[in-house]
Amino acid sequence: MNMPYYKDAKQGTWYVKLSYIDKFGDRQYKTKRGFTLRKDAKRFEDDFFAKLHEGEGTDYLSFTQLSTYYIEWYSDRRKPSSIKTMNNYINNHLNSYFKKMNVYDITTKDILDFHKHMQEKEFRGKKLSKGYIQDIHTALSSILSYGIKFHDLKANVASLAGNIENDEETSWDYWTLAEFERFYAMLDDVFMRAYFRLLFFSGVRHGEQRALTWRDINFEEGYINIDKTNYNGKVHKPKTKTSKRRVYIPGHVLDDLSEYKAWYQENRPYKDDYVVFGSFYQSIGETTIAKKYDKLIEETNLKRIKIHEFRHSHASDCINRLRMDRETLAKRLGHSSSITIEKVYGHLYPSTEKDAISGL
């Protein structure tokens, strides 16, 4: 057996060269010089490996294997959009850090080191926001909780360590009613008028609007019925029960939809279970809408907001112009609680009675 101890002929001392597998599953090498006696080099080796394996149990399950088990379990219980997000957290961030680390040996210090790594990391040329890192930590905690339930993990060290503090303000942009009307005035296409007017004045999620069929529009009662969403070209049930709802819309939006429906019936095959914004059962693609939208924005000096921010624009309009209360807005947007409204839009609500009556 080859011993890792060597005599430095020039210095007259001993040195040791060690090879080992670190907790991430990667091979590492270490050289230590300057030992007077060979037995001192041997003692260093013994102490080094004793500390390296201190506290290690006999069980072994790599983090990557646990995350594989978890995503299989998770995929049977969640919607495709949630599964895609979880896979992103695991494949792009968690597995690349924890790798083959034994989940039974992960400590709270390892979690804190992970937090530091994530705050220093660049992904696709940008630093990760603290809110995004918090989401990744939550995913990690969920994986370890699964490990406790199904793989005899003793503790959730992610939960014990706690999440990072987030002192960043959530930022999103929106249009006022006046800004939207400037945008709307540029639209000379019956499809685009109906599409963007409904998006702004209903506050529905983009996927919910793309999944609408003609039977979902009640022209007599003045509402649209939301009971599905389009994600990646496929129609799915909404994430939550509260996402299923009726959303009442103004008369001028119904007028645009009526005009568009007349055009649709003249130019395309029509059945009441065909999608409103598309052909037959196929919704218009998100990329197609984005290209049309970007082209329009280039023709004006309006600030560009994201398609999703039409929903924020509607919420802002409901709060600032219509003085809609939190509970009503939460129900309209499909949230289960007004707590979400307070978290996302609370800063838009008047903080005093004096502010509240200023619009009267």
Show me where the domains of the chain are located: 5-52, 63-161, 177-356
Measured between alpha carbons, how far is 339 from 134 in angstroms, rounded to an integer? 19
pLDDT band with cut points at 50, 70 and 90 for residue 170: low
C-beta of residue 302 within 8 angstroms of C-beta of residue 296 = no
Residues of the chain with pLDDT > 90: what percent? 58
Contact 14, 8 (CB under 8 A): yes
The 10 Å CB-count burial string (b at 16+, else e) for 114-138 is bbeebeeeeeeeeebebebbbbbbe
Q: Which residue has the higher pLDDT, 24 or 259?
A: 259
Residue 131 · residue 168 · CB < 8 Å? yes
Report CA-CA distances (Å) from 295 to 176, 274, 302: 20, 28, 12
Q: Average per-residue pLDDT in the chain?
A: 88
Separation of alpha carbons 193 and 184, rounded Å: 7
- Higher pLDDT among residues 343 and 360, named by residue: 343
For the stretch 256-263, contacts whose Cβ atoms lie closer than 8 Å and that sit 24 or more positions apart, written own/partner, are 256/190, 256/193, 256/194, 256/197, 256/198, 257/194, 257/198, 257/217, 257/219, 258/219, 259/190, 259/193, 259/194, 260/190, 260/191, 260/193, 260/194, 261/214, 261/217, 263/190, 263/191
* Confidence tier at 79 by pLDDT (50, 70, 90): confident
Under the banding of pLDDT at 50, 70 and 90, the label for residue 300 is: confident
**Which CATH code is given to the segment(s) 177-356?**
1.10.443.10
Higher pLDDT, 217 or 6: 217
Using a pLDDT cut of 70, give the percent of the chain over it. Answer: 91
Q: How far apart are CA 255 and CA 259, in angstroms?
A: 6
What tokens were used for 302?
A: 């309006």
Strand-pairing partners, residue 279, are 282
pLDDT tens readout for residues 91-138: 999 999 998 889 999 999 999 999 999 999 988 888 998 889 999 999
Q: How confident is the model at residue 350 (pLDDT cuts 50, 70, 90)?
A: low
Question: What does the block give as tokens for 157?
Answer: 């060290």
**What type of residue sits at position 353?**
E
Range 63-161 has CATH code 2.60.120.10: no
pLDDT at 355: 52
Question: Which of 37-51, 53-67, 164-178, 212-226 holds the top average pLDDT?
Answer: 212-226
